[in-house]
Amino acid sequence: MATAQNIVSFLFLHLVFVLLVSNIGNAKGLRLGYYHKTCPSAESIIKKATYQVISRAPTLAAPLLRMHFHDCFVRGCDGSVLLNSTKTNLAERDAIPNLSLRGFNVIDAIKAEVEEACPGVVSCADILAVAARDSVSMIHGPYWEVPLGRRDGRVSILNQVFAELPAPFANITQLKQMFAAKGLNMKDLAVLSGGHTIGTSHCLGFVNRLYNFTGRGDTDPSLDPNYIVKLRQKCKPGDTTTLVEMDPGSFKTFDEAYFTLVAKRRGLFQSDAALLDDPETKAYVILQSSTKGSTFAEDFAESMVKMGGIGVLTGNQGEIRKHCAFVN
């Protein structure tokens, strides 16, 4: 009897998740298998090309995930972060928070392969969404089905980055507002912050916490003092070049260790520490750190699908770029 109930419960939860993905897809005009007839090899081409890159350089997984995040939070998931600046317009990729993005050449190379197979069919925005998913799954992270059908935007404006992209210096109030503006809730905030389990940061992103937090030569009281000593050994005042692992010891592996660090007050950014300043996000941090990430993989997959539907262009909106760095 118990076994039958368990099976029913599992099937019900699976149905709920499928409906959730379907609703997100339908509501945004995205759907699973979008290129099934027009470019059936699209996802396999992207996966193979991504694998070739990540197998050689696993540290590129974090930048590709970050690039997708930066794309979606500014003007929606429309590939606008991929566009070059022109003589008359400064684009998103030249904004200070995006100067450290890497992997543009990876997306351009994948796009060229997809164009060779199916000219003018698959958007750069979709390629970025799928490559981000594949790169995460290739470093032991979760795999999720990506609803597709995004079109590429024709507009990319540098100044919009500062207004819409959450900064590493953001407090919990700012984070809450910025995520809510994109249709994401507090759980999504905690879950997606877990993406900091992979990757590195320049000292510039957190050095203020180590030396001059309030302008009086002090440190950030929300950061573990013992960790401050270690970070000071790596980052001196004014250091703009040194890279520091966000999740020391496993920054190349997608796991739940980030939440253990945050719970110990060792999150690298103020935005990491801010998760302990709200009851809901704090509870999520404690749950994952105390249960070895019992639901993190599943939650991350779900939140990534939600994030991937932010402000998408579909149907006749936007265009399908021939080259991801330029509008047609």
Which residues are known to be catalytic?
70
What is the token pair recorded at 99? 């100067």
Using alpha carbons, select from 37, 46, 36 the residue that is nearest to residue 113. Answer: 46
| Distances 280 to 17, 46, 169 between C-alpha atoms, Å | 22, 36, 20
Pairing assessment for the beta strands 243-245 and 200-202 based on DSSP bridges: antiparallel
Residue 321 region by backbone torsions, left for phi larger than 0, else alpha for psi between -120 and 50, else beta = beta
Of 235, 236, 208, whose CA–CA distance to 223 is shortest? 208
Distance CA 253, CA 6 (A): 32
The dihedral sign for the CA sequence 254, 260, 263, 267: negative
Q: Which residue has the tokens 């000593």?
A: 229
Enter the DSSP assignment of 313: B
Q: Which helix (H) or strand (E) holds 137?
A: helix 124-137
